[in-house]
Amino acid sequence: MAEEPRHTGADPRLITKIISSYVSHHNLGPDQIPELIRLVHRTMGRLGKPAEPPAALTPAVPIRRSVQREAVTCLDCGWRGKMLRRHLTTRHGLSGDEYLRRWKLASDHPLTAPNYSEQRSTLAKELGLGRGRARRMPTAQRGRPRRRPRAT
């Protein structure tokens, strides 16, 4: 009979080359090398196979309690703050839309605490933001008129 291959999956020489290259560029302790070998071998064995379906997500807090008047809570890790957008991009690498899709939330689900949104809205209205430039201040209050270029 024909001799059966001893190793199934990736070529052991290729795995050895990957590991030796990694070890030559990184500082590893002797106790970390066996885990690295297992990890690379397992990863190479999974190549070309369909990905496993992702596990069901469990929120850190109930979705109904994630939005309160003073703070919003991240469903991934439980972080509480006034705004989630920066936290999502820096900590989880997600945009607001990706976060909403990930947790199957409505597109109008707030990512900013309602009280904070109201404060910012009030401040913007007091400053006259969002209105046309001509409507912001009457002409008399605008200051000095622009100079006309001199005729030579």
Domains delineated in the chain: 12-41 (no CATH), 58-130 (1.10.10.1550)
3-state SS, residue 64:
helix
| Alpha-carbon distances of 119 from 65, 69, 80, 108, 129, rounded to whole Å | 21, 12, 18, 19, 14
- Please tell me the distance from the alpha carbon of residue 16 to that of residue 12, in angstroms, as a whole number: 6
3-state SS, residue 73:
strand
Q: What is the pLDDT along the chain (152 residues), one digit of tens a residue?
A: 455 555 556 788 888 899 999 999 999 889 999 999 899 988 888 888 887 777 888 999 999 999 999 999 999 999 999 999 999 999 999 999 999 999 999 999 999 999 999 999 999 999 999 887 655 555 555 556 666 777 76
Its pTM stands at 0.53
